[in-house]
Amino acid sequence: METELEKLPADEREIVERFIRRKHIARNVLKEFDQSMSFGERLSDRIAEIGGSWTFILLFLFFLAAWMVFNSFVLHKQAFDPYPYILLNLALSCLAALQAPVIMMSQNRQADADRAQAKNDYEVNVRAELEILQVHEKINATRETELTELLEIARRQEEMIGALQQRLAASSS
């Protein structure tokens, strides 16, 4: 058993050792991940959440339309950003330049959380597989014991039938 255990990769060996010691494997990885997040990571997640919502898109479209209407029609001759809206273009470029890396940080963190969750799922699945194999072995051992007992009972019944047949033959003669 020890040599078979040594052949396993380190992470699988750890799972088997925890199984043998009856240690709990399943855990809430996402909760652990969320608790270990820094302020910047939480902020990037929140920005990505807001920036990827329909509310943000609709408010942003409203802001763009309001900017254009205000500069083209309301202020008309005294517009601070007349058509082709160079100041608006600069603001949008700055927003995109800042928002893209923040969203990528959030996606990277989410990918790390997904990898940790997948690793935990794998460990739980290996543990479940080991427990299923253990249950199969117990069922097979029980079945073999019962089969041996049934064969012994059948042998005794045959002996009793043979003894009864001899008595019957002796009494009829």
Instruction: Give the chain's domain count.
Output: 1
Contact 109, 47 (CB under 8 A): no
Q: What secondary structure does DSSP assign to 55-82, as a single string?
A: HHHHHHHHHHHHHHHIIIIISGGG-SS-
Contact 116, 27 (CB under 8 A): no
Sign, CA dihedral 105-107-108-114, equals: positive
Position 149 scores a pLDDT of 97
pTM of the predicted protein model = 0.66
Position 2 scores a pLDDT of 59
Position 19 scores a pLDDT of 73
Identify the domain containing residue 6 by its residue range: 2-172
Q: What is the mean pLDDT of each run of 10 residues along the chain (173 residues)?
A: 70 75 77 89 91 93 95 89 94 94 93 93 88 93 96 97 93 81
Rounded Cα distance, 77 and 99, in Å: 33
